[in-house]
Amino acid sequence: MTNTPDAPDSTLPAPLAAPLDEAELPTLRRRVQAVLIATQILGGLGIATGVALAAVLARDVSGSEALSGLASTATVAGPALLAMPLASLMASRGRRAGLVLAYLIGALGAGVAVLGAVADSFPLLLLGLVCFGAGSSANLAARFAAADLAEPDRRARAISTVVWATTIGAVLGPNIAAPAGRSVSGLGIPATAGPFVWAAGVFVIAAVVVAVLLRPDPLLTARALADARTPGEAAEDRSLKAGMRAVRESPRARLALVTVAGSHTAMVSIMSMTPVALTHHGADIQLIGLVISGHIAGMYAFSPLMGWLSDRLGRLSVIGLAVGLIGAAALIAGTAGASHGRTALGLFVLGLGWSAGLVSGSALLTDSVPQAARAAVQGVSDFVMNTAAGVGGLAAGLIVSQLGYGPLNAIAALLLLPMAALAVRGSLRKTV
């Protein structure tokens, strides 16, 4: 027997867009999804192209391998810093304004990173990488834009389809880093900065696609439809403060936040230190690349399956699946030792667990708060998710240096306990 999604679709009026005939909705949904898929591919391509050589560029500019790790920290800090302002802008002006701004900031950051490389300035490079991370903010926000007009029983599938599209860019990006580097030869730009030149161009194209084609705005249209369905009600507060209040008042929204943040932090903590663990057991760069590629495939390629399961079986069931998969991944990878095959399997399963947690948690969050508060709450989710992952990534290096890779996996698995406890509590409430 299948269950319906775990929370009813609650809508609140917001007469911010022209009314739309209900018969036009299927066509609009398809168009919005097509635009978001295109921009996810572009955004994923830009991010992966730059990130592929970010640490190498940081090492070359700083002259220190120890400081090269700050490159990944900077790119994670960008989405965390931008999440709340971006949510505030989307809450007042719609998805299109927020996505365009995020992509343009990402393009500007890529340009600043190139200037830092040319000027041999490490602080300027880090500033550029922080802004470059805004491209990730746009890709994260796009999954919620896909949910704005989706039917409640297909919301998780809409989210997962957009998440899946990132696979294409993420796979292609590292493979074009080399030609991007060669393309700037003779221009006085280091080859390792070439990918950022290309990434800037890709982000600008993504911004143009959103600005021109994402019309009407899905969030504003959803509000207009809600207003048409419930005429006469006053518009609700859409501020970040109202969003925080909506989370406090909804146990399921709190579960969703814990799920997204816990899944992401466990994944980043384990994944970021796996290459180091592999080198300790004699793995070369090619093997490490294959392991990480398998991990990325687990993260994105199977997200439509996670969306289908979340819609069919319910959000709580797939959150439980995420707990099981991430726990199994920590066990497999943490006990792999010198077995590269076991490590690869663990990282693949870890990607699947992350996908289950992100898709089900994002859908449950959207289900669990009023329509007017969704943009603000979704921004809070991305802020918490990226901040927790940044802290987790930094702590992971310390844990491995002091205790080892196995204990890191065990500690990451402990992050699942709040998810599991809240999910069980939510399931019990449903049966009472």
Within 8 A by CB and 6+ apart from 150, the residues are: 29, 157, 158, 159
Q: Which residue has the tokens 């992100």?
A: 358
Give mean pLDDT, residues 297-316.
93
pLDDT band at 238 (very low <50, low <70, confident <90, very high): low
Q: In the predicted model, is pLDDT for residue 309 greater than 50?
A: yes
State in Å, rounded, how far the first CA of the chain is from the last one: 18
In this prediction, residue 417 has a pLDDT band, given cuts at 50, 70 and 90, of very high
Q: Which helix (H) or strand (E) holds 390?
A: helix 374-402
Residue 270 confidence (pLDDT) above 70: yes
Of 122-126, 184-188, 335-339, the one with minimum mean pLDDT is 184-188
Of 249-263, 272-286, 386-400, give the range with the top mean pLDDT.
249-263
What's the sign of the alpha-carbon dihedral 97, 77, 147, 15? negative
Going by pLDDT thresholds of 50, 70 and 90, the confidence category of residue 119 is very high
Under 8 Å between Cβ of 200 and 110 = yes
DSSP reduced 3-state for 346: helix
Tokens of 71: 């490159």
Alpha-carbon distance 302 to 356, whole Å? 9
What is the mean pLDDT of the segment spanning 91-107?
93
CB 272 within 8 A of CB 396: yes
Mean pLDDT, the chain, rounded, equals: 84
Q: How far apart are CA 4 and CA 32, in angstroms?
A: 25
Which SS3 state, helix, strand or coil, does residue 359 take? helix
Backbone angles phi, psi at 310, to 5 degrees: -65, -40
Q: How far apart are CA 191 and CA 180, in angstroms?
A: 8
Count CB atoms within 10 A of the CB of residue 186: 7
Q: pLDDT value at position 48?
A: 77
Give the three-state DSSP class for 231.
coil
Which residues, including other chains, have CB under 8 Å from residue 398's CB and lie 6 or more apart? none
**Most confident option among 10-19, 172-181, 256-265, 395-404:** 256-265
Q: How confident is the model at residue 266 (pLDDT cuts 50, 70, 90)?
A: very high
Task: Give the Cα separation of 280 and 418 in Å (integer).
Answer: 32
Tell me what the mean pLDDT of segment 133-150 comes to.
Answer: 87
User: How confident is the model over 182-203, as a mean pLDDT?
Assistant: 88
As a 3-state breakdown, the chain gives helix, strand, coil percent values, each rounded to 5, of 80, 0, 20
Q: What average pLDDT does range 390-405 have in this prediction?
A: 83
Tell me the pLDDT band of 71, cut-offs 50, 70 and 90.
Answer: confident
User: What is the arithmetic mean of pLDDT over 376-403?
Assistant: 84
Q: What is the mean pLDDT of residues 265-286?
A: 82
Other beta carbons within 10 angstroms of residue 409's beta carbon come to 27
Q: Over the stretch 341-382, which tens digit does the pLDDT of each residue have?
A: 999 999 999 999 999 999 999 999 999 988 778 888 888 888
| pLDDT on residue 58 | 81
Q: State mean pLDDT over 420-424.
A: 88
What is the pLDDT at residue 11?
Answer: 36
pLDDT of 204: 96
When pLDDT is averaged across residues 120-124 and rounded to a whole number, the result is 93
